[in-house]
Structure 1
């Protein structure tokens, strides 16, 4: 199941890309196919303009559906589920955006020339959930409202400590998109803890987890998919999926940039 069909996903759980299935008593009973895309920023704070100059809004159809991150003036990194089944002509990227309604000063809209989706992407498990959008024309990098994110080397491994997630997603499970860009800081969760939550078969190589295990209440939510997971100005992950939205014991799962760095470098040209 992917976030590509927002309306369908919303009807299948209270948030885009998230199934409303019952919480299983034992994590071992949770197979990989029950991995469900997470949603937007819950428990966060409104961002200031220019706070996240590398984040972009990805429009599919009539409006914002996913987020992404500029890794070059004409390249955007996002989740493969955000573009699954889409054509380049059916996507637009909006850089420098702060509010979804109206037009933000310095906002730039770019058409997509090509979608490069990871060949290992699987919609049922979210393995290989990464894609590059090649823009027809580069956006203007002003260094203040529109900028390129740094990337970690392939040797960096999963991040440690706290990370920051940002997006226009719902601020509560089942809620609508946020009109203004939001962000929240959350702690990393170990691979072992994440596998305890979801079952070891659900966590594939290249995935890492972050969230508040004990209480929940802070996480990405609907329409944040494909958006950045940051350590400072460095893009360390792409938000992929979770069970529910900021629920206790169900952290958000992201695709790690360092794990996919060789693939990114090979396909960014």
Structure 2
């Protein structure tokens, strides 16, 4: 399959306003200020990519809800330790197949509906999203750059499975993967340090970002795990 290169970003986007993405959380690993992104689906449950938990334990992870800037402390910010990592049993690090995990938190965050809130989930019958979707995270604003201090977001068009297979090769795109990016001109998208972050259709969490070739490159859409496809797995493992 095509290699997922180590770029790091939401590129071509804009700074979010505080509370614009209330369900989004930052994930810290060890002493790292930011290592991945996730989305609150319950007061004590975070949906993220399984790759965000590769080579680590629950004890090494913390979730930061209500965060806007990486530096300092945002009002309403809450940091909670992780009690358990539940990876999809079919996850394969080498192929990114079934790249989905639920982080079970040691305690619930306080939901205020403005700065800390839950994402809406699609039904299992909803299918893959079409049209434009929104991605968000603290990744750098250019390929190979540093993380962004402020939360960034950008809107990108979805692309068909056929287009995604053309970009990466038929064997690289597995069932459950959805793709989005500026396929024709490039310049918009997210990458490595935004792994696990939300792909949103309005307020609905339609995808969990997994991988891409570079960052917002031409003919290189971002690949995510489709939430509708995995809804039954999520429901079975969220309790």
- TM range, smaller chain: over 0.9
Correspondence 1:44 to 2:44: no
Deviations 1:20-79 (A, max 9, x none): xxxxxxxxxxx26x3457632100000000000000000002221000000000000000
Task: Give unpaired runs (5+ residues) of structure 1.
Answer: 1-30
Counterpart of 1:61 in structure 2 is 30
Contact 2:7 2:143 survives alignment (8 Å): no
Correspondence 1:255 to 2:225: yes
Task: Give SS of 2:194's match.
Answer: coil
Counterparts of 1:37 and 1:184 in 2: how far apart (Å)? 20
Task: Give SS of 1:57's match.
Answer: strand
Counterparts of 1:38 and 1:205 in 2: how far apart (Å)? 25
Counterpart of 1:264 in structure 2 is 234
Deviations 1:121-154 (A, max 9, x none): 1011000100000001000000000000000001
Task: Give SS of 2:228's match.
Answer: helix
Q: CA deviation at 1:215?
A: 1.1
Moved over 6 A (4+): none
Counterparts of 1:193 and 1:235 in 2: how far apart (Å)? 22
| Number of residues of Structure 1 aligned to a counterpart in Structure 2 | 238
TM-score of the two chains, using structure 1 as the length reference: 0.87
Task: Give unpaired runs (5+ residues) of structure 2.
Answer: none
Counterparts of 1:35 and 1:174 in 2: how far apart (Å)? 13
1:95 to 61, 65, 68: 65
C-alpha root-mean-square deviation of aligned residues, in Å? 1.0
Task: Give SS of 2:193's match.
Answer: coil
Correspondence 1:141 to 2:111: yes
1:178 to 125, 148, 168: 148
